[in-house]
Structure 1
Amino acid sequence: MPPTPSDNRRFAFWRRSVQARVVLSVIVLSAVVVGVIGWVLIRQISDGLVDNRVDISVAEAGNETKVAQERLDSAGTTDADPTTQLRQLVDSLVERGRARGFEVVVQGPVDASRGQGTRTSPGVRPVSVPADLRAEVERSSGVSWTYTRIRYDSDQRRGAVPGVAVGDQVRLPSDGGTYDLFLLFDFGEEEDTVALLRRSLITAGVLLLALLAGMTYLVTRQVVTPIQLTRRVAERIASGRLTERVHVSGEDDIARLGRSFNSMADSLQTQIRRLEQLSLAQRQFVSDVSHELRTPLTTVRMAGEVLHGERNSFDPTTRRAAELLQTELERFETLLTDLLEISRFDAGAAALEVEEVDLLSVVRRTVEATSPLAERRGVRVEVSVDDRSEDPVTAEVDVRRVERVLRNLLSNAIDHADVSGETAAGLDGDLVEVCLMADRRAVAVTVRDHGVGLQPGQSAQVFNRFWRADPARARTTGGTGLGLSIALEDARLHGGWLQAWGLPGRGAQFRLTLPRVAGEDVEHSPLPLSPAGLRDLGRRRRTGAR
């Protein structure tokens, strides 16, 4: 049966509460110790009571048997017949038993040829004497004893009481017969004493456990309460309330811990504020520089366009300089635009303009937009989509940002494609593959190239600002080094993922995963990150190639 929510709450309380675990541990360990000690004490006391009672009973039985035999011997053989003499013997023993607390069972004569009879104290059943004790008394001379249960007739007592049976033999002078004499001593008082002692020990143990639990609770509370207060303060500091501090009083270890915590919080607050000021200054600097450079850049760009428009009238050297100037001005303007976008992300000012669109059309538009670059590089771009559904692949996204992400990924793949021919894996090096797939909650787009690939550990570094896998390699697309960083921020702004895979000589693959409904969390991606997983998805419908 699966655990219920109440069970989960109890388990959570047990895992989180040190005080509960300590108190319960003390109770359990104390219960074990008290139980062992109580059991040993009860065993020793009960054994002592029983052993003492047995010794007294055996001694008393032997004395009673001796007195009874002396009376029989002094009576002689002519005073009475055997029946009368036996009755007098039993009556005297029963009378003495009432005063001394024992019961009498007489059986005999032992010689079975003359018949046997049994006489007992009123209400006592002969089965109170165990058979093995009867056999022992008949086999040996002397006193024998054993533990037994004294059973009474229903009109006397219910059930049976514990006791000891002591047996010996006496001889009747009137007929010379030998009779088995058993004296049964009741241990009811000893049993009541042990029961009272057991109840007393249990009551004392329960009270002791309750006292220990209360003491443990009070002691642990003195330690746990300051720790709980410190935890709450730490949670407030973690939530951004940097001015929170622990109230400290006293000079003990807990107070010293609180002072150390407050000192650490002061130091962290100082460092965080310093870093915030530094970050704010950096963001402000980037924003100010980007804005301030726009005016002179516009002027320089206008002048560069004039020169570029008149380049055919220049000499070859001047014409080449005008073309390079125009190219670098365009790259410089793109860099400024990316820096402004990065500054908006850093300042938390970026926002989505969500609308429901067909992502297949977005992919096609992006491929069309990058087709001139692909043609210049001699790269073919293929687009494929899952053919298991005829419905449009729609999602609630910011179209401008998604197009920018796909444009960055395609430009990067085209720039790194191997246009020299076949790759080491036997694939077309000049091929860039774009795959689109969606499920009920997410949509994914992968962009695959067959270029130089990525070294181990570089799949995370590619999203760093201005990072390049090969610093000595020239950019053919005039990139700024911020494209993948901005693409990653755009994906995160949607609540999605942007991930990279690559192997040396095997190319690279980037995967963009977005939720189909804005604001939902992405738990999985419809497409695998590794290209090997794409081949396991089965047949895909080709929608276009360029």
Structure 2
Amino acid sequence: MTALHGRSRLALRRRRLRLWWLRFSQPVLGPFRSRWRSSLRLRTMTITASITTVMIFVAGVFILTNVGDDLYSSRRDQALADSARATLAAQSVLDSSNATDRARLTTLVDSVRRAVLDTSSSSMIYLRRQPGQVDVSDAPVDSNTSQSLVDAVTDDLSESLRDTDAPQHWQPVSVPDETGVSGPGIAVGSTLSFPSGVGNYDLFIGYNFSDTEESLNAIQRTLLITTIGLLALIISLVWVISRSVFRPIRAAADASHRLAAGDSDARMPLQNDEHFDVLSENFNNMAGTLQARITELDELSDMQQRFVSDVSHELRTPLTTIRLASEVLRGQQDAMDPSQGRAVEVLGTQIDRFETLLGDLLEISRYDAGRITLETEPTNLVALARDVIDGIQPLSKSMIELRPIGGYGTVDVDARRIRRIISNLVGNAAEHGEGRPVVVTIDSNAAAVAVTVRDWGVGLKAEDIERVFDRFWRADPARKRTFGGTGLGLAIAREDAAVHGGLLEAWSRPGEGANFRLTLPRGDASAFVSPLPLIPDDVSIEETDPGTTGGWLRRPFRRVWKERTK
């Protein structure tokens, strides 16, 4: 239990640390990370600057290390040579002396110290009798000119002088300069032989390397300034080169963006480079071809819209004449035999259907031409849906039920178009419901009002759902139409929903029926969540169902529809 508790606490700490890092790094690194992913120029400059900085740093460290070693070695060799000369001078003074008593030996020590000071470039001298020798009463006492040198001499250096035959030994020490500030240096030790059996003395001379350190610091400063200048020069050079290299790419991106935005005259200028000029010429040729093709398609679309509109209008006159003739025949139907009466009845039914088809063609041509005007008014969708159901129920074999969960408040819509949507959805559900009940549900929230029409008929396949809003498409062409559709109902219904800024969606599954959902935003809501689910609550959700990977959050299509119809 203790181990489990410890692992839990460790996992909690890791989670908190991860959350803290996300909160810290997102505002700081987020904009740079986003810019890094989207800018090839920034990546090129950053990578070049990073590699250059690493190379300069490695080269600088290498140069400084070698220069520092060379300066130190040269200064150390000078100090050793200087110490050797001073030691020889001091030993010469000792060798030429025949002092035997303490007074003369003390005077001899002073002479040795003066000889060292005169010969050596350093003023730090420490002379002491070598440890481990037999005491001599007349031996001169130790003397020094720098207490810091006395403190800097270590036992290792003393033992090296006593135990080895090398003429000189040295060690790095910290010694003060003329101002008293400690700096790097070395202490060089050598052995002097005094006359009259006095024994050996150790001579230590301290050398200050502060001048060498200052020279190295000056080199470091110069190298740092050179590095910064070189790095700035390289970054500026990369910036200028990248600006020059990416200028044709920016020109191509700008031209393609303008072309995608609808500017058919957008062209890519020449770049005075044979390869980029080929790209510019090919791009401009492609843009010209697209412009010609788009112009041709626009003309064909306009011709098609005018044709549909003109034909629909032109058919109105003969259709009116045929309807008048049909009404005359219908007035004489009682005097006809049953077969003739049936023919007159069928003629009237088909004329009604033909007139409905002409009306739908005119309506769809208005949508294609972008000549739609909404006549909005405060509308109660519950009352409107109830009126629609009351009109369709006598003609339907299915029981149509209205479930108004919400939506009792009014919403500003074009009541005629919304009535047409609901009538189409309820009529299709009653026709394909196989006699099973049809449920119309209405609900609302602060941002939207939704209407769903649910049936338990044969349902549709996944590939059929994608085409259910196509014009003149039927899932089963052999199915008999109870309400006599034209094949344009759902296409017009989706356009009616889009012009309101709403959304018309469909869900269906073979053997489990279908569910159509109309969602209308309240006012000018920039985003809305449908108050009703697209997938019914009585079915299991599958990964292939629409809406299972997203949410119900939708942006209104009114702006998109307006831009499309400009």
Category of TM-score, reference length = shorter chain: 0.7 to 0.9
**Alignment partners' CA distance in 1, 2:144 and 2:528:** 89
Match of 1:136 in 2: 160
Deviates more, 1:110-119 or 1:451-460: 110-119
**Structure 1 residues 323 and 49: CA distance shift in structure 2, 3 A:** same
User: Per-residue deviation at 1:59?
Assistant: 4.0
Match of 2:423 among 376, 386, 407: 407
* Cα contact 1:229–1:246 (8 A) shared by 2: yes
**Alignment partners' CA distance in 2, 1:62 and 1:2:** 64
Task: Report whether the alignment pairs 1:445 with 2:462.
Answer: no
Match of 1:288 in 2: 310
Task: Report whether the alignment pairs 1:525 with 2:530.
Answer: yes
Aligned to 1:531, the other structure's residue is in SS state coil
Percent of aligned pairs sharing the same letter: 38
* Cα contact 2:432–2:457 (8 A) shared by 1: yes
* Cα contact 1:496–1:521 (8 A) shared by 2: no
Matched letter for residue 364 of structure 2? I
What CA deviation, in whole Å up to 9, does each residue of 1:73-119 have, x standing for no partner?
Answer: 3313437544332232223212322xx34632223342488599653
In the TM superposition, 1:526-541 aligns within 5 A as 526-532=531-537
What CA deviation, in whole Å up to 9, does each residue of 1:292-334 have, x standing for no partner?
Answer: 1111111111222332343343222222212211111111111
**Alignment partners' CA distance in 1, 2:263 and 2:141:** 100
**Alignment partners' CA distance in 1, 2:540 and 2:378:** 30
Task: Report whether the alignment pairs 1:119 with 2:140.
Answer: no
**Structure 1 residues 69 and 116: CA distance shift in structure 2, 3 A:** closer
Task: Report whether the alignment pairs 1:489 with 2:506.
Answer: no
How many residues get paired?
514
User: Per-residue deviation at 1:137?
Assistant: 3.1
What CA deviation, in whole Å up to 9, does each residue of 1:395-421 have, x standing for no partner?
Answer: 2211111111000000000000022xx
Aligned to 1:532, the other structure's residue is in SS state coil
**Structure 1 residues 405 and 112: CA distance shift in structure 2, 3 A:** farther
In the TM superposition, 1:179-190 aligns within 5 A as 179-190=201-212
* Cα contact 1:455–1:503 (8 A) shared by 2: yes
Match of 1:92 in 2: 115
Match of 1:380 in 2: 399
Aligned to 1:457, the other structure's residue is in SS state helix
Matched letter for residue 180 of structure 2? R
Match of 1:355 in 2: 377
**Structure 1 residues 118 and 487: CA distance shift in structure 2, 3 A:** farther
Task: Report whether the alignment pairs 1:147 with 2:176.
Answer: no
Matched letter for residue 380 of structure 1? M
Deviates more, 1:247-256 or 1:393-402: 247-256
**Structure 1 residues 89 and 332: CA distance shift in structure 2, 3 A:** same
**Alignment partners' CA distance in 1, 2:540 and 2:448:** 20
**Alignment partners' CA distance in 2, 1:506 and 1:392:** 30
In structure 1, the gaps of 5 or more residues are 420-429, 537-546
Matched letter for residue 316 of structure 1? P
User: Per-residue deviation at 1:163?
Assistant: 1.2
User: Per-residue deviation at 1:270?
Assistant: 0.8
What CA deviation, in whole Å up to 9, does each residue of 1:481-509 have, x standing for no partner?
Answer: 10000000011101111100000000000
Matched letter for residue 83 of structure 2? A
**Alignment partners' CA distance in 2, 1:503 and 1:133:** 96
**Structure 1 residues 30 and 315: CA distance shift in structure 2, 3 A:** same
Matched letter for residue 265 of structure 1? A
Task: Report whether the alignment pairs 1:398 with 2:417.
Answer: no
**Alignment partners' CA distance in 2, 1:394 and 1:4:** 44
* Cα contact 1:495–1:521 (8 A) shared by 2: no
**Alignment partners' CA distance in 1, 2:44 and 2:260:** 28
Q: TM-score, normalised by structure 1?
A: 0.87
* Cα contact 2:90–2:113 (8 A) shared by 1: no
**Alignment partners' CA distance in 2, 1:359 and 1:81:** 129
Larger relative contact order (Cα-Cα within 8 Å, sequence gap ≥ 6): 1
Matched letter for residue 384 of structure 1? R
* Cα contact 2:170–2:189 (8 A) shared by 1: yes
**Alignment partners' CA distance in 2, 1:149 and 1:345:** 93
Match of 1:513 in 2: 519
Match of 2:352 among 310, 330, 334: 330
In structure 2, the gaps of 5 or more residues are 1-22, 542-566
**Structure 1 residues 533 and 271: CA distance shift in structure 2, 3 A:** farther
* Cα contact 1:110–1:116 (8 A) shared by 2: no
**Alignment partners' CA distance in 2, 1:370 and 1:37:** 88
**Alignment partners' CA distance in 1, 2:489 and 2:236:** 65
**Alignment partners' CA distance in 2, 1:475 and 1:324:** 15
Task: Report whether the alignment pairs 1:247 with 2:269.
Answer: yes
**Alignment partners' CA distance in 1, 2:322 and 2:44:** 76
Match of 2:342 among 304, 320, 327: 320
In the TM superposition, 1:418-497 aligns within 5 A as 418-419=434-435, 430-497=436-503
Aligned to 2:372, the other structure's residue is in SS state coil
Matched letter for residue 420 of structure 2? R
User: Per-residue deviation at 1:381?
Assistant: 1.1
Match of 2:48 among 7, 26, 29: 26
* Cα contact 2:126–2:146 (8 A) shared by 1: no
**Alignment partners' CA distance in 1, 2:150 and 2:204:** 10
* Cα contact 1:65–1:168 (8 A) shared by 2: yes
User: Per-residue deviation at 1:342?
Assistant: 0.3
Match of 2:131 in 1: 110
Match of 2:72 among 35, 50, 60: 50
Matched letter for residue 386 of structure 1? I
Deviates more, 1:328-337 or 1:243-252: 243-252
* Cα contact 1:514–1:522 (8 A) shared by 2: no
